[in-house]
């Protein structure tokens, strides 16, 4: 039988890319997730064993790690709040103990590259501690320590990309002069897969990096050159603290300040490999490691071709609601507010669905743009994602995709798109968009909405477009929020109805 690899963090950036690499290398893969339904849209979902497992639950881990040859620990509490260190410590100890009791042959962990002999940021210190806990678990362990990971969709790459593209002239923190050793995500994945074959007596950390050592400022200039942009004017200033720097990054890039802060703090140190011993166990490919220019070029190529398989936003933001849409309107006996609308569209269902599936991101939300921008800015100021997460793919969506400040909770191709709000709200919210070709079908899902009159009846080539905004308030503040925004629904959601219908009709008749 092929060896069995268990992978945690499969909804994240690296974990989602590691799974197909392990399958290609001949492994059987067991994907561990708290909610396996979030993986339904992944291309590899039917080729792996999906297991419901909370990494902090020893009993669930015991079952999930049974019979596993190599277990990948790709979990960390990036931006999860003030107690992230204690949470990281608990999860690592629980995982290490469960792996030892289950007889797992090897653990593999991807941590952060950091210098020795200096006081580390809380984030880097926690990443180092997690590696030490796993090494002390009694299971042979490989800890790979990487600095900036370059690849389409990584948080580190998005920071470089947006800072460089949006700011031809910038005043920057002093850390732009620190040396770093970036590594391409494809080399990270190669090291992760190759670590499964390390001899049992090998249990240690390895520094991993690409062939180029440069400053962060030089990295941005390299990006500008590869992207065909003019050389950037960079003026370092000493007054920008890590907190101010993270707020600055959060304002300019799609990466929220809560995630940018630990990334910025890691840049306060020079992150250059002190050794490259890993090449003795995982040899470099014949063509050599991927350099910075080629890594940037490959990332931009994938973005241009719409082939970004995972993004930093693939994992839900810490603190974001994950509750599924309740099926009972009187959910938990509390208030549940619904704003329902529908219209007849002079276009076939497949054309209307094309417009619905492309909503958000660069195309926007087909209604009062200023209102959406203001709401997005308010959310970012409150610590939420705002609108800048955009989309993974400009034309197609899958379950668990981030979509601006929403996340795709369910999708029925050609018929239904359900979005769950991840913005900061005093309650839980969803937006449902539905395409139907018969009034009877639509009435099943929107029974409280009056049917169309004779003059609105859908004929050949005409389709019904329905949308529902749903909100479950938390306390009095939630009630006040709903009634304060309700007067704007006619402009925002009514405008979306009209403009989506108009765009579908325009495409159908062009």
Tell me, yes or no, whether 69 and 206 share the same domain: yes
User: 205-214, 239-248, 476-485: which range is least confident on average?
Assistant: 239-248
Q: Is residue 375 one of the residues assigned to a domain?
A: yes
Asked if residue 359 belongs to a domain, the reply is yes
pLDDT at position 452, please? 42
CA angle 142, 143, 147 (to 5 degrees): 145
pLDDT of the residue at 438 = 63
Tell me: do 144 and 262 sit in the same domain. yes
Q: Is 224 helix (H, G, I), strand (E, B) or coil?
A: helix
Q: Output phi, psi for 109, to 5 deg.
A: -130, 135
Do the Cβ atoms of 355 and 472 come closer than 8 Å? no
In this structure, the answer to whether residues 236 and 336 fall within a common structural domain is no
- The dihedrals phi and psi of 29, each to the nearest 5 degrees, come to -125, 135
Residue pair 88/172 in contact (Cβ under 8 Å)? The answer is no
20 pLDDT band, cuts 50/70/90, is very high
With tokens 């899958």, the residue in question is 398
pLDDT (tens digit per residue) in 32-61: 998 888 787 788 989 999 999 988 889 999
Banded model confidence at residue 485, pLDDT cuts 50, 70, 90: confident
Question: Which range is most confident: 71-75, 173-177, 374-378, 418-422?
Answer: 71-75
Q: Which of 143, 78, 77 is nearest to 111 (CA)?
A: 143
Is 500 in a helix, a strand, or coil?
helix
- Domain membership of residue 230 (yes or no) is yes
Residue 145 zone, left/alpha/beta (φ > 0; ψ -120 to 50; rest) = beta
pLDDT digits (tens, 9 = 90+) for 321-336: 555 554 443 433 446 7
- If asked whether residues 306 and 372 sit together in one domain, one would say no
pLDDT, residue 144, reads 96
Residues 123 and 238 both lie in one domain = yes
Q: pLDDT per residue over 100-125, tens digit each?
A: 999 999 999 999 888 877 888 778 88
Q: What is the mean pLDDT of residues 326-347?
A: 67
Q: Do both 421 and 499 map to the same domain?
A: yes
- The more confidently predicted of residues 157 and 254 is 157
pLDDT at 22: 96
For residue 293, what pLDDT is reported? Answer: 94
Read off the tokens for 153. 């969709």
Query: Does residue 440 have a pLDDT over 70?
Result: no
Residue 271 DSSP class: B
- Out of 18-22, 92-96, 185-189, 381-385, which region has the weakest mean confidence (pLDDT)? 381-385
For residues 62 and 444, which has the higher predicted lDDT (pLDDT)? 62
**pLDDT: which is higher, 448 or 127:** 127
Report in angstroms the alpha-carbon separations of 134 from 69, 203, 205.
16, 10, 11
User: The CATH number of the domain where 407 resides is what?
Assistant: 3.30.530.20
Contact 465, 442 (CB under 8 A): no
* DSSP designation for 278: G
Rounded Cα gap, residues 472 and 340, in angstroms = 15
As a whole number of Å, the CA-based R_g of the chain is 24
Q: Can you give the CATH number for the domain in which 307 is found? A: 3.40.50.720
Per-residue pLDDT at 201 exceeds 90 = yes
DSSP run (H or E) holding 217: helix 216-226
* Residue 319 forms part of a structural domain: no
Average pLDDT, the chain: 83
pLDDT greater than 90 at residue 18: yes
pLDDT, tens only, 279-319: 999 999 988 999 999 999 988 887 776 555 565 455 555 45
Residue span of the structural domain in which 124 resides: 4-314
Give the pLDDT of residue 445.
46
Q: What pLDDT sits at residue 453?
A: 43
Question: Final residue of a domain: which of 253, 282, 314?
Answer: 314
Is the Cβ–Cβ distance between 7 and 32 less than 8 Å? yes
The pLDDT of residue 481 is 85
The predicted model gives 141-159 an average pLDDT of 88
Instruction: Give yes or no: residues 260 and 371 share one domain.
Output: no
Question: Three-state DSSP class for 494?
Answer: helix
- Asked if pLDDT for residue 68 goes beyond 50, the answer is yes
> Which residue did the predictor score with more confidence, 224 or 171?
224
In this predicted structure, what is the pLDDT of residue 303?
74
Same domain, 411 and 292: no
Residue 297, in any domain of the structure: yes
Residues 304 and 405 in one domain: no
Task: Report in angstroms the alpha-carbon separations of 341 from 293, 447, 466, 480, 505.
Answer: 50, 11, 6, 22, 18
- The candidate with the shortest Cα–Cα distance to 428, out of 274, 325, 347, 302, is 325
Domain count of the chain? 2
Contact residues for 301 (Cβ-Cβ < 8 A; gap 6+): none
CA distance 23 to 213: 32
Average pLDDT score over residue span 432-452: 58
> Both 296 and 352 in a single domain?
no
pLDDT higher for 396 or 38?
396
Same-domain check for residues 26 and 166 = yes
Residues 112 and 72 in one domain: yes
Contact by Cβ (8 Å): 346, 352: no
- Tokens describing residue 308: 């970004």
Q: Cite the beta strand spans of 74-195 per DSSP E.
A: 106-112, 141-146, 149-150, 169-172, 179-180, 183-184
Residue 175 pLDDT > 80, yes or no? no
Using a 10 angstrom Cβ sphere, with 0-12 exposed, 13-18 middle and 19 or more buried, the burial of residue 163 is buried
Residue 195 lies in a domain: yes
Does some domain include residue 339? yes
Percent of the chain with pLDDT over 70: 86
- Kindly indicate the confidence band of residue 450, based on its pLDDT and cuts at 50, 70 and 90: very low
Closest CA to 412 of 436, 444, 439, 447: 436
């Amino acid at each position: 039988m092929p060896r069995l690899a268990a992978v945690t963090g499969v909804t994240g950036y690296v974990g989602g890319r590691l799974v197909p690499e392990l399958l290609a290398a001949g492994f059987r893969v067991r994907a561990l997730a708290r909610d396996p339904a979030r993986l339904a849209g992944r291309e590899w979902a039917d080729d792996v064993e999906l297991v419901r497992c909370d990494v902090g639950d020893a009993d669930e881990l015991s079952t999930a790690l049974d019979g596993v040859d190599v277990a990948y620990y790709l979990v960390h509490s990036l931006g999860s709040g003030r107690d992230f260190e204690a949470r990281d410590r608990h999860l690592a100890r629980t995982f290490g103990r469960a792996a030892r009791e289950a007889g797992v042959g090897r653990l593999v962990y991807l941590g952060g590259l950091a210098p020795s002999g200096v006081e580390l940021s809380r984030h880097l210190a926690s990443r180092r501690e997690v590696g030490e806990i796993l090494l002390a678990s009694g299971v042979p362990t490989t800890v790979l320590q990487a600095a900036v990971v370059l690849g389409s969709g990584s948080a580190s790459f998005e920071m470089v990309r947006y800072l460089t593209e949006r700011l031809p002239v910038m005043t920057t923190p002093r850390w732009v002069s620190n040396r770093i050793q970036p590594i391409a995500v494809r080399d990270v994945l190669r090291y992760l897969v190759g670590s499964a074959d390390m001899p049992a007596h090998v249990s240690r950390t390895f520094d991993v990096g690409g062939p180029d050592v440069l400053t962060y400022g030089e990295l941005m200039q390299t990006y500008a050159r590869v992207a065909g942009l003019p050389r950037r004017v960079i003026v370092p200033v000493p007054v920008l603290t890590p907190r101010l720097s993270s707020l600055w990054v959060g304002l300019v890039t799609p990466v929220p300040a809560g995630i940018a802060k630990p990334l910025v703090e890691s840049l306060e140190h020079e992150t250059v490999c002190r050794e490259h011993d890993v090449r003795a166990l995982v040899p470099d490919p014949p063509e050599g490691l991927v350099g910075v220019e080629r890594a940037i070029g490959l990332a931009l190529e994938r973005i241009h071709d719409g082939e970004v398989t995972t993004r930093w936003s693939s994992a839900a933001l810490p603190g974001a609601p994950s509750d599924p849409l309740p099926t009972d309107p009187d959910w938990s006996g509390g208030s549940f507010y619904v704003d329902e609308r529908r219209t007849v569209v002079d276009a076939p269902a497949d054309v209307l669905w094309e417009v619905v599936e492309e909503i958000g991101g660069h195309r926007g939300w087909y209604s009062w743009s200023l209102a959406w921008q203001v709401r997005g800015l308010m959310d970012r100021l409150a610590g939420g994602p705002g609108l800048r997460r955009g989309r993974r793919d400009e034309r197609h969506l899958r379950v668990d995709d981030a979509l601006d400040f929403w996340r795709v909770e369910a999708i029925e191709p050609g018929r239904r798109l359900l979005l769950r709000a991840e913005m900061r709200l005093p309650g839980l919210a969803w937006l449902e968009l539905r395409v139907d070709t018969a009034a009877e079908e639509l009435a099943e899902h929107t029974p409280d909405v009056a049917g169309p009159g004779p003059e609105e009846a859908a004929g050949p080539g005409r389709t019904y477009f329905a949308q529902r905004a749903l909100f479950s308030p938390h306390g009095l503040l939630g009630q006040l929020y709903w009634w304060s925004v309700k007067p704007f629904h006619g402009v925002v959601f009514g405008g979306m109805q009209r403009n989506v219908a108009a765009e579908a009709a325009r495409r159908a008749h062009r």
